[in-house]
Amino acid sequence: MKTQVAIIGSGPAGLLLGHLLRASGIDCVIIERQSRDYVESRIRAGVLETVTTDLLHKLGIDAGLNAAGLMEEGFNLATGNTLIRIDIARLTGKHVMVYGQTELTRDLIDAAPDRQLEIIFEAKDVELNDVESEQPFVTFTKDGIAQRITADFIAGCDGFHGPSRRAIPAKKIREFEREYPFGWLGILADVPPCHPELIYSNGPRGFALASMRSPTRSRYYIQVPLTERLEDWSEERLWGELAARFDPISKHGVTRGSALEMSIAPLRSYVFEAMRHGRLFLAGDAAHIVPPTGAKGLNLAASDVAYLSDALIAHYRDGSDAALEAYACRALSRIWKAERFSWYLTKLMHRFPEDGDFEHRMQISELDYVASSEAMQRVIAENYVGLPL
Ligand code: RFL
Ligand code: PHB
């Protein structure tokens, strides 16, 4: 089989890229390791920047977003018993949308057949070959049969654990990494949110986040040590912890309900500084990871593929490779700024086991400063809504 662009991975990066290329008449195939059911049921991000929602509107795959997305004009940082509202609408003239990655992924997969975007699910042993040549190809097995797709380009959109990054020789790369000594324990439940807008809290019991998916579905997280296992947490214990943190500061208090999902995710900052090698281009979590504080991961995947699709379209339409040459540099400039903001907010809002009283007072003092300074609030708001492309 032959195509113009072979895309590895059907997460947000691969799906958005596939649709953007198809909208310009470029042939592409998405090769995904997991089943459709698995991909559609992963619970992850919830906050979309304008960069991401603009792509959905441009593609016309926005019925779900228009019907169920919640416009957020502000969010809150909290210390102990005080809420600091960051009025993003007033400070930036923009907003973010609460719309789940799960729903966004489902919308993009549902829209694929009508737009002749082929997605091959359950592709095993995916390998990238000859990426330095003019004729790279991807091999895999599907239903026990060996397959080979030759392409002009390969887009590695296969997340942090996929094979694309490893197809780049070690001597061509630089990696930057920071692992955090804690994870986020998350719960999703069909209960009304405790507060009209998100709350990121750094209280005496550690970090917690109150988020939502809809007026009847809540998403909460708390910071837990990396040694903690899911089995250590009954739903009851987690609801008790959330109530202790959010009842004093939220408008409605925490409503308990049975969990639709509970999981622990480690926190990491990571940048892989070779987003291109020959005819292979990386996008999304395949090339970088941010801690979820600040909600940047999915949005960075979207901005990467906005740059990459423009560059591939210029190649096919105008015969110009200038944008392909500039891709890594343009994408990394935005990625590093999002890395900085996610790291900053993570440092500000979590309890680090190695920190003493002094560092904690520094956090409290900085939050106190944020509460009193519109300039500080504007910096946070500008980063939260997403920097321009
Ligand atoms: P994905 O979503 O990981 O998709 C990669 C796809 O590649 C497939 N794959 C392979 N396919 C073929 N062959 C192989 N060998 C393969 N190996 C892997 C995978 O099955 C998968 O389908 O990467 P992508 O597309 O780059 O998207 C990135 C986002 O998913 C990620 O950055 C966000 O979820 C991060 N994130 C958040 N981002 C936000 O912008 N806002 C948020 O509010 C937000 N909250 C979060 C988050 C991530 C979290 N976790 C679980 C890490 C909250 C959490 C808890
Ligand atoms: C979520 O709703 O899952 C969410 C919201 C904000 C974040 C991270 C995750 O910063």
- Note the pLDDT tens digit of each residue in 49-84: 999 999 999 999 999 999 999 999 999 999 978 999
Ligand 2 atom having least distance to the Cα of 186: 3
User: Could you tell me if 349 and 202 are in contact, meaning their C-beta atoms sit under 8 angstroms apart?
Assistant: yes
pLDDT of residue 109: 98
Asked if 255 and 274 sit in the same domain, the reply is: no
User: Which residue among 101, 142, 220 is best mutated to probe the pocket of ligand 1, counting the most ligand atoms within 8 A of its Cβ?
Assistant: 101
The model's pLDDT over 142-167, given as tens digits with 9 standing for 90+, comes to 999 999 999 999 999 999 999 999 99
Judge if 361 and 319 occupy the same domain: no
List, in sequence order, every beta strand (DSSP E) within the chain.
5-8, 28-31, 47-48, 70-72, 75-79, 82-86, 96-98, 118-120, 124-129, 137-142, 145-150, 153-156, 175-189, 199-203, 206-214, 217-225, 259-272, 276-277, 280-282, 288-289
Residue 81 lies in a domain: no
Q: Tell me the CA–centroid distance for residue 320 and ligand 2, in Å.
A: 39
pLDDT tens digits, 254-284? 999 999 999 999 999 999 999 999 999 999 9
Answer whether residue 84 is part of any domain. Answer: no
pTM to 2 decimal places = 0.97
Closest-CA residue, ligand 1 atom 40, reads 298
| Nearest ligand by distance to the CA of 297 | 1
Pick the closest to residue 73 from 83, 52, 84, 87 (CA basis): 87
Q: Which two tokens stand for residue 247?
A: 């009842």
**The pLDDT value given to residue 80:** 78
Q: Are strands 70-72 and 28-31 parallel, antiparallel or unpaired?
A: unpaired
Could you give the C-alpha distances from 231 to 186, 222, 228, 234, 263, in angstroms and in order? 13, 15, 8, 7, 10
Question: DSSP 3-state assignment of 119?
Answer: strand
Torsion of CA 325, 327, 333, 336, to 10 degrees: -120
3-state class (DSSP) for residue 81? coil
Each as own residue / partner, the long-range contacts of residues 364-367 (CB below 8 Å, 24 or more positions apart, any chain) are: 364/79, 367/77, 367/79, 367/84, 367/202
Distance 314 CA to ligand 1 centre (A): 27
Q: Are residues 167 and 112 in the same domain?
A: yes
Whether residue 121 is predicted with pLDDT greater than 90 in this model: the reply is yes
Output the pLDDT for position 1.
94
User: Does residue 359 share a domain with residue 224?
Assistant: yes
Work out the number of other CB atoms within 10 angstroms of the CB of residue 135: 11
Among 288, 319, 325, residue whose Cα is nearest residue 303: 288
Domain membership flag for residue 87: no
Does 49 reside within a domain? Answer: yes
Per-residue pLDDT band for 33 (boundaries 50, 70, 90) equals: very high
224 and 335 part of one domain: no
CATH, residue 325: 3.50.50.60
Centroid of ligand 2 to alpha carbon of 65 (angstroms) = 17
Residue with tokens 């940048």: 271
Residues 302 and 321 placed together within one structural domain of the fold: yes
Q: Please count the other Cβ atoms lying within 10 Å of the Cβ belonging to residue 133.
A: 10
Looking at the fold, whether 246 and 122 belong to one and the same domain comes out as no
Yes or no: say if 162 and 15 are a contact pair by the CB < 8 Å rule.
no
Which range has the worst mean pLDDT, 80-84, 98-102, 317-321, 368-372?
A: 80-84
Number of domains in the chain: 2
On whether both 326 and 290 belong to a single domain, the answer is: yes
CA distance 242 to 240: 5
| Residue 123 in domain | yes
Amino acid type, 289: I
Q: What is the pLDDT of residue 266?
A: 96
User: Do residue 273 and residue 263 come from a single domain?
Assistant: no
Q: What is the DSSP letter of 309?
A: H
Residues 277 and 336 in one domain: yes
Q: Which residues contact 376 (CB under 8 A, 6 or more apart)?
A: 369, 370
Range of the domain at 372: 180-267+350-385
pLDDT in tens, 90-108: 999 999 999 999 999 999 9
**Residue 108 forms part of a structural domain:** yes
- 205 pLDDT more than 90: no
pLDDT reported for residue 19: 98
Task: For residue 263, report the distance from its CA to the centre of ligand 1, in Å.
Answer: 14
Return the number of other C-beta atoms located less than 10 Å from residue 238's C-beta: 20
Say if residue 156 is in the same domain as residue 254.
Answer: no
The answer to whether residue 45 scores a pLDDT higher than 90 is no
